[in-house]
Amino acid sequence: MNTCPAILIAAPASGQGKTTVVSALARLHSRQGRTVRVFKCGPDFLDPVWHALASGAPVYQVDLWMNGEADVRERLAAAAREADLILVEGVMGLFDGNPSAADLARRFGLPVLAVIDAGSMAGTFGALAFGLQHYQPDLPWAGVLANRVASERHALMLKDSVRAPEQWLGAVMRNPAMVLPERHLGLTVASELSDAMERLDAAADALASTPLGQMSLQDLQRWQVNFSTEPAASPAQPLLQGQTIAVARDAAFCFIYAANLDALRALGAELVFFSPLADVAVPACDALWLPGGYPELHADKLAANTALRDSLAAHIAAGKPVWAECGGMMALFDTLVSAEGASQPLWGLLPGTVRMQKRLAALGPQQLSLAAGTLRGHTFHYSTTETALQPVARTARPDTDPLPDAGEALWQQGSVRASYFHAWFPSCPDAVVELFTAPQRAA
């Protein structure tokens, strides 16, 4: 069967606490022995880490543009066959972006649960909930949850403001113990916090006292969704069969879509993982992937690991391909300058300087056209790069024609390809093969 209770948890804006609520709900049901599958609407690396910890299962992105509708439908249907509950976290505000979380909800019939930070409102809470429900026609609706509520009296005022009593799903009180900490790119990675599970349990306990948290499996059937599927697309050809790809994975390089790893394995590649922070050599491999992350937080330790740097240089000198995206690319340059102006040497394998800044440098969906096809993905970074390298290509937004100075640069030197662009590998397996194949004219 492809039917399963499912809700999309959204909010009027970012910062309302929807990630905490999704993780709390996943943790609450999973610790009761239920199988929960969580998805993230839109490109995001950080929220899914918390959801995976809470649910005990990998978390995949579902974005109508980046994935495509068929891919989203197939992922949701596969989850429905094994789960007791499917949770989808929205992105930004409910109607923000094109496509938005509301578009996803309408396309797949996902009832929307609105999480609203009620810390500074009373009667307006009901107006906001009503507006979110009725702004677009035919939007499936589950109800509303008040977050960061000051007191029981405050909760009663909020409840009374909701027009339909059955849509009131409760109030979560303000509680520092359940706060998920943040930094400049979003939430702190759960694996870096020794008390991550304690925070999730505190959030789950808080949610357990609400009508939402007290719902049984039978109660959840009111949000049953049928995820009908079309015939599955032909599987990717194993064009990387016999190839070993080394993937950097640690606190400095942690922006890795689970779907990207699946895509590489589906292409036949064997994956090995290593830590540029801790290991002294790149594993034996045919190609290498340096994903994004936080090299700026670990720049001194990365620079000090000269043995790893020399091993990486030998890999490049041998003409073996490297795909470096965003943070992985940053580490390859000569120098990193912090937002405060402090300069730190990096690996020096690409010429140039990376400068951190306190404001976003770029954000949004992007696509990269290569000879083998077009990869979809996104960009999100707080740094700029100064380099003598000339771009061999540039990404483009999905809704505009490529311009000479628009999009993210794709730089190439020897067997290294590097860009701020984060690629969604399932969008074009043939292009992924190209990324992990040495350029014909490696300088």
Catalytic residue numbers, as ranges: 326
Residue (of 371, 366, 363, 365) closest to 432 by Cα position: 371
The torsion of the CA quartet 315, 320, 326, 327, rounded to 10 degrees, works out to -20
Q: Widest CA span of the chain, in angstroms?
A: 70
Q: Which residues lie closer than 8 Å to 104 by C-beta, 6 or more apart?
A: 8, 41, 62, 63, 64, 72, 88, 90, 110
Q: Is-contact 345 337, C-beta < 8 A?
A: no
Residue (of 413, 419, 418, 403) closest to 439 by Cα position: 413
């795909």: which residue's tokens?
323
Q: Is-contact 40 187, C-beta < 8 A?
A: no
Residue (of 299, 304, 314, 295) closest to 246 by Cα position: 314
Structural tokens at position 131: 């507006």
